[in-house]
Amino acid sequence: MRRVKHTSINRAARVGIPVFPGAFAIGISFGVLARTEHFSSVAALVMSATTFAGSSQIAAVTLLGGGGGGTVAAAIVAALLLNSRYAPIGISVARAFQGRLPKRFVEAQLVVDESWALGNGDRSLILGIGAILWVLWVGGTAIGLALGSVIGDPSRYGIDGAFAALFVALLATQVGTRTRRKVAFLGAAIAAVLTPFTPAGVPIVVATAAVLVGWRRP
Amino acid sequence: MSDAWVVVLVVGVGTMLLKAVGPVGLAHRELPPRAERLLDLVAPAILAALVVTETFATGRSLVIDARLAGAGAAVLLVLARAPYWLIVICGALATAGVRALH
């Protein structure tokens, strides 16, 4: 049993290599940001450990840091909208999850963008990559909180561009057939059209409607 | 409780529930073939949407900035069948490079 677990973590470490440095770096930048926005270190660490979703955490902390009344609601709504894609993402891999409810609830927390996309429906791979990402994410947050101003603005290092590149690379693995390419085009178009008119996060969830392209054909 | 803690707790619990919807709610269900087929298409739909938002979105605006260099480099490297890690590193370098030139 122990050996099986060991091999699956090794496999996850190998498959996940391209996404680990980025998650670690974004974790650090979240820590730096939380400090400059006067979040307590404990609150920032608890957020990384529970929310475990980069863009939503950064949005929440930034909006709250803006000051003034009503920003608590704005921060909460923005963060939850950004994370609403996890409903369709979780549903798409639900078949792979077995066992009792508490176990499935905990395992579901490890299904994040990168583990989901690289794991491709393979439960042990998704969980292995997700677990490593979680450690790097929380660890990165701690380092960012500790080092703070020494690091400076993370966008200087092109980390946002690395994420754009990562999603291009992940998408490339998913467009093997004509139907899947059509779905991708439609999903991209929906996201582009909606971005100016809806809060961030909504375009991504609505883009899920592009799967209806597959209604008729296998 | 401070504002920060309210946000941390509500967003944390809300996100955990969103992530749990599929694996907790649907794990043991046998789905009809059409539903399985549509769920199989969720990945290209969401990843394509994320490419658009990660490359062009800043708040509610679509802008062309240094990130496009990262995404463009990634497209070329995908066509050249480069490994993931190289694509990600080049995406960061291209973006940082264009930003430094400005």
Q: Tell me if A108 and B3 make a contact (CB, 8 A cut-off).
A: no
Structure confidence by residue, pLDDT tens digits, A84-105: 899 999 999 998 998 899 999 9
Structure confidence by residue, pLDDT tens digits, B3-62: 899 999 999 999 999 999 999 988 777 778 888 888 889 989 999 998 999 899 988 899
Contact A183/B at CB under 8 A: yes
Chain B contact probe: residue of A26, A160, A202 with most B CBs at under 10 A: A160
Q: Tell me if A167 and B47 make a contact (CB, 8 A cut-off).
A: yes
Q: Tell me if B23 and A188 make a contact (CB, 8 A cut-off).
A: no
What does the pLDDT average to over B57-68?
A: 91
Q: What is the ipTM of this complex?
A: 0.88
User: So what's the pLDDT on residue B97?
Assistant: 94
Q: Tell me if B51 and A97 make a contact (CB, 8 A cut-off).
A: no
Average pLDDT score, chain A: 87
Q: Where are the domains of chain A?
A: 2-158, 175-218
> From CA A187, how far away is CA A87, in angstroms rounded?
16
**CA triple A76-A104-A116, angle to 5 deg:** 70
Q: Looking at the partner chain, which of B6, B21, B34 has a beta carbon nearest the beta carbon of A90?
A: B21
Structure confidence by residue, pLDDT tens digits, A127-184: 999 999 999 999 999 999 998 777 766 667 787 888 889 889 889 988 999 999 999 9
User: So what's the pLDDT on residue B33?
Assistant: 83
Q: What is the pTM of this model?
A: 0.82
Q: Which of residues 139-168 of A touch B (CB under 8 A)?
A: 155-168
B89 Cβ contact partners less than 8 Å away, ≥ 6 residues apart: A162
Q: Where are the domains of chain B?
A: 1-30, 32-101
Give A-chain residues touching B92 at CB under 8 angstroms: 22, 157-159, 161-162, 165
Is pLDDT at B98 greater than 70 in this prediction?
Answer: yes
**CA triple A33-A35-A39, angle to 5 deg:** 105
Q: b/e for B57-96, b at 16 or more Cβ within 10 A?
A: beeeeeeeebbbbbbbbbbebbeeebebeebbbbbbbbbb
What does the pLDDT average to over A58-70?
A: 69
Q: Tell me if B29 and A207 make a contact (CB, 8 A cut-off).
A: no
Element (H, E) at B49: helix B42-56
Q: Which of A55, A56, A61 is nearest to A34 (CA)?
A: A61
Give B-chain residues touching A208 at CB under 8 angstroms: 42, 45-46
User: So what's the pLDDT on residue B89?
Assistant: 86
Task: Mark residue A120 as left, alpha or beta (left: phi above 0; alpha: psi -120 to 50; beta: remaining).
Answer: left
| Residue A53 backbone dihedrals phi, psi, to 5 degrees | -155, 105
User: So what's the pLDDT on residue A1?
Assistant: 43
Exposed / middle / buried, residue A122 (Cβ in 10 Å: 0-12, 13-18, 19+): middle
What is A110-171 written as a DSSP string? T--HHHHHHHTT-HHHHHHHHHHHHHHHHHHHHHHHHHGGGT--GGGGTHHHHHHHHHHHHH
User: Which of the given ranges, A50-54, A57-61, B56-60, has the highest pLDDT on average?
Assistant: A50-54
